[in-house]
Amino acid sequence: MKLRELAALIGGRITGDPEVEITGVAGIENAKEGDITFLQDLNDVPAVAASALIVKEEIRGLTASLLVAGNPQYTFARALEVFYVKPYSPYGISDRAVIGSNVKMGDDVSVYPNVYIGNDVELGSRVTISPGVFLGEGTTVGDDSFIHPNVTIREKVKIGRKVIVHSGAVIGSDGFGYVLEKGRHSVFVTPCDFGNLCRVQVEQGDLDAAADTLKKNKSALQASPEGQLVLAVTQGIVHAKSGNTKEAEKVLDAAAELRASGVHGDARLMLDLAGICMAGGRHDEADSIVAGVARNAHDSEALLAKARDIYEAAGRNEAGAAVLARATADVRKLNNEGVMLAQRGDFKTAVEKLMAACAEAPHNPRILMNAVWVALKYIDQAGMDETLIGTARRHLADAERQAPGHARIAGLRLHLSEVENRFGIRRKAAG
């Protein structure tokens, strides 16, 4: 993880190299290259081998990069949370759980009290089923998945590996449920939830389950343009995997019309769409979709790698490299220049750069949050600009929709509120 990526998660202002790689967290006496540590006493600066230091004020003459934060100890604790993964320790099977017949469990499964597990359920290894969970008949939960308390997973639903389902989620019922995306740590209520569930089912080779998910939730998905796009893309995946090229072409045409009207899905959904287009020979359309994703995820190696995989599967590696290079170069340059200008205190020019970056990448929450931060800092410095603060509000709302629960959101909302209060701004009531 680069220092700038860590700073985006835990806060702080970087002095030094934002691209330095941080691989761990350590106390100041034990820190080595690749570690980040913190320095509480600025009057006693020891020789350190760490790649980065969390400090309260800037210190000159150090070779290590600095992350300047108001409370270094607290910021260091947040860094620990990012890097420290609690070792898995199985709870065992509670005798207060209700477990049906023909239930299969892998190694080191944890089943807590007041859990109901129906007949023919299959749990992988190191699965955790928290109190109050209902697992319907024929449900499958993959290895290393964690089901939080009071979740309902209905009959015959298949959960993939390393999935986290948060409290209160209902999966398999009619209407929108909660997202199931492998390896992610959040759940959201959006039309893309079913796209993510279908993706897991397709990756597991169960096209019938994916088709059934779409059939059961078709009316709910058709209720919004975003849902219609999810429906078209996921139907396209199922048709393409089934070899039904004519039906795949129909839903691709529907997806193209939705995109032309301004409908947009999350990055994974759009890459799924690009993959189907590429497989169907619609190369220009696929290139356009990938370029849009790349602009909005210019610093996400996982998404860019997925995009490269799509081109490799189509035998278009060189074309893919060119598309990604063009798409990411300008927005990366604008973002990086804006951040560096802000770090030097030139917030006016930083605002110009980052607002231009937002125009290029309106679905990139990190760029949106950077733009909000520099806009508020510029207002702090130069005085109220009502147009700018209105833009900052919109970008912050967009960032929060795209990255709910992101560590920076709360701080930016607080900063925005402080600026509004300082200048006596009252928001107009809705209605």
pLDDT of residue 374: 95
Round to the nearest angstrom and report the end-to-end CA distance of the chain.
44
pLDDT tens series, the chain, 431 aa = 899 988 887 888 998 899 999 988 887 767 788 999 887 666 556 667 889 999 888 877 777 899 998 878 778 877 876 776 555 678 899 988 889 889 999 999 999 988 989 899 999 999 999 888 889 888 999 988 889 888 888 888 888 887 777 767 777 644 333 334 333 333 334 566 677 777 777 877 788 888 887 887 787 788 888 889 999 999 999 998 888 989 999 999 999 999 999 888 888 889 999 999 999 999 999 999 999 999 888 767 778 888 999 999 999 999 999 999 998 888 888 988 998 999 889 999 999 999 999 998 898 888 999 999 999 999 999 999 999 999 999 999 988 877 766 778 888 988 998 998 888 875 543 33
| CA 251/CA 265 separation, integer angstroms | 15
State the burial class of residue 344 (Cβ atoms within 10 Å of its Cβ: 0-12, 13-18, 19+).
exposed
- Put the strands of the sheet holding 52-55 in their side by side order: 13-15, 65-68, 52-55, 35-38, 24-25
pLDDT of residue 192: 67
The helix (run of H) or strand (run of E) holding residue 368 is helix 365-382
pLDDT of residue 405: 63
Q: Which residue from 374, 416, 412, 372 is spatially nearest to 395, judged by alpha carbons? A: 372
pLDDT of residue 430: 36
Question: CB of 146 within 8 A of CB of 128?
Answer: yes
pLDDT of residue 169: 72
The residue type at 310: I
Continuous H helices in 124-282? 192-203, 207-216, 218-221, 225-242, 245-260, 267-279
pLDDT of residue 189: 44
Cα angle 101, 107, 112; round to 5: 65
Phi first, then psi: give them for residue 140, nearest 5 degrees: -125, 135
pTM exceeding the 0.75 threshold for the entire prediction: no
Sign of CA dihedral 397, 402, 405, 406: negative
| CA 425/CA 417 separation, integer angstroms | 9
In three-state form (DSSP H/G/I as H, E/B as E, the rest C), the secondary structure along 279-324 is: HCCCHHHHHHHHHHHHHHCCCCHHHHHHHHHHHHHCCCHHHHHHHH
| CA 266/CA 404 separation, integer angstroms | 13
pLDDT of residue 176: 36
Domains defined for the chain, CATH in brackets: 3-83 (3.40.1390.10), 92-189 (2.160.10.10)
User: Can you tell me which residue has the tokens 């610093």?
Assistant: 299
Q: Which residues of 308-325 are buried (b: 16+ CB within 10 A; e: fewer)?
A: eebbeebebeeebeebbe
pLDDT of residue 93: 93
DSSP 97: S
Across-strand partners of 117? 99, 135
User: Is 33 in a helix, a strand, or coil?
Assistant: coil
pLDDT of residue 108: 93
